[in-house]
Structure 1
Amino acid sequence: MEHLEQKQKITIMIAIMSAMFFAAINMTIVGTALPKIIAQIGGMDYFDWVFTIYMLTATITAMLVGKLSDIYGRKIFILIGISIFMVGAFLSGTSSTIYQLILFRGIQGFGSGMIMSSALTTVGDLFSPRERGRWQGLMGGVFGLSSLFGPTLGGYLVDNYDWHWIFWIFLPIGFIAFALIWKLYPNHVRTGEKEPIDYLGSLVLSIMIISLLLGFTWAGNRYEWLSVEIIGLFSITVLSFITFIWIESKVKSPVLPLHLFRNSIFTVANIAGALMSVGMFGTIMYMPFYVQGVLGQSATTSGLVEMVMTISMVAASVTVGTLISKTGKYKIFALIGFTLMGTGIFLNSMLEVNSSLTQAISQLVLTGIGLGMTMPVFNVAIQNAVDHKYLGVATSTMQTFRQIGGTIGVAILGTIMGILMEDQLMEERAATTAPTPSSEMSQTLGQLQDPQALMNPDQLESIRATLPAEFTPLFDQMLLTLREALNYAINGVFLVGASAILLALIVAFFIKEIPLRTSNQDEEKTAPPMKPVESKS
């Protein structure tokens, strides 16, 4: 679609980014609203499935649609994705039970996977690799804006209106995006013979992704790491992986062509992207624990602190995307970005109980700038390194690697946090001598054994108000002990996150920088040779 007029390309991109924003903000808006939703429809024991099912269906669909869009074009899948997503969003707003909400969020996930995969690939269809940088930067900005406004808007809507509107408020954007894409997006013109669909490979790949993500999502949370359930899920993952490799080496048109991994740029960029997600999600997930739990700030303050990081990330992403298009260079931005991001996260690992909020914010800005610098790089590098006919599957593979990296990272970091905090609390309690309270006081003070108590300042004040004056010093001591233990554990989490970014930096050194093509038609002239192995049928 390079031949289209610039005005038409820009209009299509506006529609594409509208669809992406529609999907992304529906994912981020739910977080702050979910407690009130659960309070009305019940199902506290299953609330995590509202997120898990969305993640699973979106990841699987994105991976499978990548290959299909290479065969049948992007337009059909974007339109289907928007339609499915709107149906899922509308139905989610009508949920009267937690089971309905989980089912309808799963439908949303299917649509989201189609939208995200096809949208990121569309940039490669419309623009040459040399032009893609600025647009990939803008796409990163869309994700950032959804993270910026979603949680705040979700909280505002459930506080002032009916919670159903968090799913319905953006439906008009979906209709507008659908209409624009339907009218402006060129229809796909199939060239060459029709490729068969790899149904068996798709099924085995789906099983592998589901078992892997569920294993890391549940490990250390719902089940112990060495439980039968987790070992069983990981065993299924390994068996599925071996089976998938065998299938893909035999079929004529594999859902994930294995020869892509012979391309060093494709392989190295995916590994670096997965490691980047570990540091990114680790910071996003655990910085609120520091701001609220250790510093004792409100949830609103915590949201504003992370908003600063998001703004810096969006600004850096858009700026670097433009510089990539202008200079044709991308590797240097990945190296600088990982250095800044790793430095910011490492400095977070040195935060103390009495550190200032300003210090935390400045380090998050540094982290956000580094993250924003790296985000456009790997999209551009991977899409520039593969033949255009593999653009969809290459882009969707990159998304899958990032999702898997983030899921695995959060699971491991959560386990590390729990272990470190427990060890620190046992050490502190062994060294503390305090008067023995009565059984009633012990029950009241026992609420401070749970680190989650630190996330609710109002609850802490209510506990303090019920205590006799002679036990106030003991309360303050226990509170300080808990905060110190939580701070120690979070420091360990950030240190591991910084180590992941250091590994990403090392990996990024091995990315071979090749000239960004000025056309989608000259792959063979600049990209590394890739000789697919196809069995004859």
Structure 2
Amino acid sequence: MGELTQKKKVTIMMAIMMAMFFSAINQTIVSTAMPRIIAILGGMDHYTWVITIYMLTSTIATVLVGKLSDIYGRKPFILAGIVFFMIGAFLSGFSKDIYQMITYRGIQGLGAGVIMASAFTAVGDLFSPRERGKWMGIMMAVFSFSSVIGPLLGGWLVDHMDWKWLFWIFLPLGIVAFGMILMFFPKVERKESEKIDFLGSLFLSLTIIAMLLGFSWAGTKYDWGSVEILGLFSAAIVFLGIFILVESKAKSPVLPLSLFRNDIVTISNSVGFIMNAGMMGALIYLPFFVQGVEGISPTYSGYVTMPMSIAMLAVSAITGNLITKTGKYKRFAIIGMPIMILGMVIMAFMNSVWMAVVAMIVFGLGLGTGMPVFSITVQNAVSPAQLGVATASSQLFRNMGGTIGIAVMGTIMQSSLVKNMKNLSSGGGSDLTKLDPKTAEQLSVFNSPEMLLDHPKLEQMTQTLPPDIQTVVTQMIDTLRDALSASLTTVFLAGAALLVVALLLTLFLREIPLRTSNEVPQEEASSGNLSKASPGEQLKH
């Protein structure tokens, strides 16, 4: 795409960002309202699966599309991604139970994975590594903007309208995004010499599915040492071994093993994996504190998370421009990640809405400073011939980290909640055995954390009880909130610990000059591995 004028490139970027915004706003508008939706549909114990299935399908789609888009171009995949996402969103609104919601969110995940992999790679097609800093910052700002208005709008909608409209209200935007991509995005001729690695794709997908299912079910549906979980992890190891064997012989591998001989790619992907595991695993439980512990409605819950998005929006754009201006990137990661850790530690010990707001601001500042770096490092470390598959590998490790982090944090959350509820009950909490069996059965529903997330239902049920029983219920709710708060502290501290590990790895990230052109010597383009000395020198194989 080097022959395109700057005006044409900017127009294409507007179309790409429209597609990204459509995908992002559909995510953020649901985030704040999801606890209420789960409370309505039921299935609190399957809450993490609504997130996990989305991450699972988007992860598989991301890595498969990376190589395919190198062969067929980015345009058909962005268009297909928008279509899948719209179908999933439309069907999600018709969910009758948690299982249907999980299924339809899986379809949405397929679309989102395709959109994101193609969009970020397209930036690499259009601009040199030096210019990408600015555009990556702008794309992060698009995510931040959707994170500002999405939770607010989502909270307001779920309080004032049927929750189905959360999934339907932005469908017209998807049609607009589809039209813009169709009109403005240039078509790329297929690389006839490239063959699709079907066998590698199959075993890579099987590896991801077995591993993520193992982490998702471990500690919740099955014990960590159960036959089912050990069987899934064993299957993942076997599939991974077969995948490596297949890729070592494939002429056009779906995920070239040579990528991981590049230390910059390996460290960047490792940092992305660990960082997303800590960040995503912890942040999805923030609404539980705001709505469950503090009793804030979904509408006002959005105001609590908004400062993070505003801080990230401003800082990511500034960081992107500074990367483009200076050609340096490692310093921003080293500055941003400690700030993220500080924000996560504040979350662990927050005891009010105002502390939650402060934590969000701090975390957003760190996120906006450090997050744009790692996409640039990977794209700058490989030749344009492997831009799609390298970008997909980065997205793959981030998605896997997020998915595994959510699963592991979910296990920590559930086990900690059970333990804390037992401890608090034994320490003077409500003992239902002292009541008559009928009353005890009636009040048992108030021992479920789901009650804390559906305020109208909780208030309605409480008002129907006799005054003397309401006192018992109030005590039970306080016990639930204390147990939930203590459990969330454990989750946020675990997330902070993972971010510390990511920071330590970042210190070993090797910084090479950002290229000012997409053109590289022919020998670099054929190998796809830039040298350890500089982008223009001989490759190290």
- TM-score (normalised: structure 1): 0.88
CA contact (8 A) 1:262 1:530 kept: no
Question: Which residue of 2 is the match for residue 7 of structure 1?
Answer: 7
Structure 1, unpaired ranges of 5+: 533-537
Question: Which residue of 2 is the match for residue 111 of structure 1?
Answer: 111
How far did 1:6 drift? Answer: 1.3
- Residue identity over aligned pairs, in percent, reads 52
Alignment length (residue pairs): 528
Structure-1 separation of matches of 2:372 and 2:292:
33
Kindly tell me: are residues 418 and 530 of structure 1, through their superposed partners in 2, closer, same or farther at Cα, counting changes over 3 Å? farther
Structure-1 separation of matches of 2:296 and 2:95:
34
Question: Which residue of 1 is the match for residue 527 of structure 2?
Answer: none
Root-mean-square deviation (CA, aligned residues, Å) is: 3.3
Q: 2:497 aligns with which of 479, 496, 499?
A: 499
The one-letter amino acid of 1:346's match is: V
How far did 1:80 drift? Answer: 3.2
How far did 1:90 drift? Answer: 5.2
How far did 1:65 drift? Answer: 0.9
The one-letter amino acid of 2:317's match is: V
Question: Which residue of 2 is the match for residue 60 of structure 1?
Answer: 60
Question: Which residue of 1 is the match for residue 416 of structure 2?
Answer: 420
The one-letter amino acid of 2:406's match is: V
The one-letter amino acid of 1:521's match is: E
How far did 1:18 drift? Answer: 0.6
Question: Which residue of 1 is the match for residue 437 of structure 2?
Answer: 439
How far did 1:441 drift? Answer: 4.0
How far did 1:154 drift? Answer: 4.4
Structure-2 separation of matches of 1:473 and 1:24:
44
CA contact (8 A) 1:279 1:501 kept: yes
How far did 1:35 drift? Answer: 8.4
CA contact (8 A) 2:128 2:515 kept: yes
Structure-2 separation of matches of 1:205 and 1:529:
31
Question: Which residue of 2 is the match for residue 535 of structure 1?
Answer: none
The one-letter amino acid of 1:516's match is: L
**What is the 5 A alignment of 1:10-89?**
10-30=10-30, 52-89=52-89
Structure-2 separation of matches of 1:287 and 1:60:
27
CA contact (8 A) 1:444 1:463 kept: no
Kindly tell me: are residues 423 and 51 of structure 1, through their superposed partners in 2, closer, same or farther at Cα, counting changes over 3 Å? closer
Superposed CA deviations along residues 491-521 of structure 1, whole A, max 9, x for unmatched, are 1111111000100110110110111110111
Question: Which residue of 2 is the match for residue 170 of structure 1?
Answer: 170
CA contact (8 A) 1:416 1:493 kept: yes
Structure-2 separation of matches of 1:39 and 1:390:
45
Question: Which residue of 1 is the match for residue 453 of structure 2?
Answer: 455
Superposed CA deviations along residues 33-78 of structure 1, whole A, max 9, x for unmatched, are 7789899999999887665544333221111110111222222322
Superposed CA deviations along residues 12-41 of structure 1, whole A, max 9, x for unmatched, are 000001111122223344456778989999
SS of 2:511 mapped into structure 1: coil
Structure-2 separation of matches of 1:98 and 1:447:
19
Whether 2:486 is the aligned partner of 1:488: answer yes
The one-letter amino acid of 2:511's match is: E
How far did 1:423 drift? Answer: 2.5
Kindly tell me: are residues 481 and 236 of structure 1, through their superposed partners in 2, closer, same or farther at Cα, counting changes over 3 Å? same
Whether 2:355 is the aligned partner of 1:356: answer no
Question: Which residue of 1 is the match for residue 376 of structure 2?
Answer: 380
Kindly tell me: are residues 448 and 511 of structure 1, through their superposed partners in 2, closer, same or farther at Cα, counting changes over 3 Å? same
Kindly tell me: are residues 431 and 112 of structure 1, through their superposed partners in 2, closer, same or farther at Cα, counting changes over 3 Å? closer
Q: 1:406 aligns with which of 402, 424, 432?
A: 402
How far did 1:270 drift? Answer: 0.8
Superposed CA deviations along residues 142-184 of structure 1, whole A, max 9, x for unmatched, are 2233333334444555666676655554344334333433343
Question: Which residue of 1 is the match for residue 139 of structure 2?
Answer: 139
The one-letter amino acid of 1:241's match is: L
- TM-score (normalised: structure 2): 0.87
Kindly tell me: are residues 175 and 110 of structure 1, through their superposed partners in 2, closer, same or farther at Cα, counting changes over 3 Å? same
Kindly tell me: are residues 306 and 127 of structure 1, through their superposed partners in 2, closer, same or farther at Cα, counting changes over 3 Å? same
Superposed CA deviations along residues 177-200 of structure 1, whole A, max 9, x for unmatched, are 334333433332567x60222110
The one-letter amino acid of 2:497's match is: S
Structure-2 separation of matches of 1:199 and 1:457:
50
Question: Which residue of 2 is the match for residue 341 of structure 1?
Answer: 340
Structure-1 separation of matches of 2:43 and 2:492:
33
Question: Which residue of 1 is the match for residue 129 of structure 2?
Answer: 129
CA contact (8 A) 2:265 2:381 kept: yes
CA contact (8 A) 1:259 1:531 kept: no
CA contact (8 A) 2:155 2:301 kept: no
Structure 2, unpaired ranges of 5+: 525-529
Bigger mean CA offset, 198-207 vs 65-74: 65-74
How far did 1:411 drift? Answer: 1.4
How far did 1:238 drift? Answer: 1.4
